[in-house]
Amino acid sequence: MKNGASFYKLIFVFCFIFALFVFLGHYLIVGSSVWGDGQYYYSYTRSLIVDGDINFKNEFEYFSLPIKKTATGMVGNKFSLGAGLLWLPFLGLAHLVAKGDGFSNIYQILTGFGNVFYGILGLWFCFKIVKKYFSKKIALMATLSLWLGSNLFFYTAVDPINSHSVSFFVASIIILVWQQINPQKLSQFAVLGFLIGLLAMIRTQDVIFAGPFLIWSFKDWQENKQLVLKRTLVLLVFTFIGFLPQMLVWQTLFGELKSPYLIFGERFNWLKPRIGAVLLSPSNGLFFYSPILIFSLVGLYFLFKKSRFLAVSGFFLFLLQTYIVSSWHSWSGGAAYGGRMFISLMPFYIIGLATLLEKLKLKQKLGRCILFALVILNFVSIIRFLSMN
């Protein structure tokens, strides 16, 4: 038994080494690992560790980012705080070693290592989630196939210094905690709520994760109304506590508790969502870049018999996220590889893929060939994307 467990752990250690190799290879070719949106998230970590504040003037000047002063006279950073907080241990370690300016190679590399670590640890948690319902072989095949065959690989290995690796990591923990939760213990609902708040602090749109868990907390309403009200209140209060640092940052930077995206004039068009484009467009369409996710969503239908909560939650969050993303004025996600704003839902996609693998017995030769083809297609697509950007 122990040897079997060690074997699976060794596989994920190998995944970590492989992802690090890809990250370092890309870093050597490009000459930097902090680019795009990652520069804004990195500015939080660097400013807190090196300067001890959240004045981003020197960070924005270094990265040649547009400096927009807010009503408080601060440099406005519309991006969320959460990812930067989770990077603190790694950039902090770099600063202990280098005592430098926070921008040099060792800072970027150690921060990248940290994000790769979060991503692979999230994969390990997903493997543990899936093996509760399926065999370890199915769980491993689904986890690795989804990782290698979707844009999750890009954001945990090629471009890890972004918010997506950590949002996937925290989302995986949330589902793992839910699996092991004792409905009688309020302390566990406090942990669950705090993690949901943290997830929202990484990417504000992921506050929608609170919905399914709030509904689930009412499952014993007829038997014990008092307990249900207590745990629902605890879940809400600790979700608020988990998100509170972001609210304090907004108040400090902008002088109001309003999303800076809206303050800067960015908008939703709720009546004209670009759903077809978000899912199928060659310009970062979710299924266009990661067709393996179609199989995952089909699998969620068959998951209903094993876990009604995960199946319904997976569909609900997918539909809601699709509507939110497709209503956003910048629905394509900019210079992104595929539908990156869906990555926090990857734990649901992994268990959906596992369900389909078992249902259709795709662990046989044909199934392995299909999965291998999807992985190769994803790698070719990544190389093409990098060559064009």
Confidence at 49, pLDDT banded by 50, 70, 90: very high
Q: What pLDDT, on a 0 to 100 scale, did the predictor assign at position 226?
A: 93
Give per-residue pLDDT as tens, 237-295.
999 999 999 999 999 999 999 889 988 888 999 999 999 999 999 988 999 999 999 99
Q: Bridge-partner residues for 328, per DSSP?
A: 268
Give the chain's mean pLDDT.
94
Nearest to 299 by CA among 345, 351, 343: 351
Q: How many whole angstroms from its chain centre is CA 223?
A: 36
- In the chain, the DSSP E strands lie at none
- Element holding 168 (H helix, E strand): helix 164-179
3-state SS class at 269: coil
CA distance linking residue 284 with residue 335, whole number of Å: 9
How many whole angstroms separate alpha carbon 188 and alpha carbon 174?
Answer: 11
For residue 27 the two structure tokens come to: 């870093």
Whether 356 contacts 295, CB under 8 Å = yes
**Distance in angstroms (rounded) separating the CA atoms of residues 156 and 132:** 25
pTM for the model: 0.96
Residue 64 CB-half CA count within 13 A: 2
Euclidean distance between CA atoms 351 and 138, whole angstroms = 10
What is the tens place of the pLDDT at every residue in 6-36? 899 999 999 999 999 999 999 998 888 898 8
CA count, 13 A, side-chain hemisphere, 174: 33
Q: What is the residue type of 217? A: S
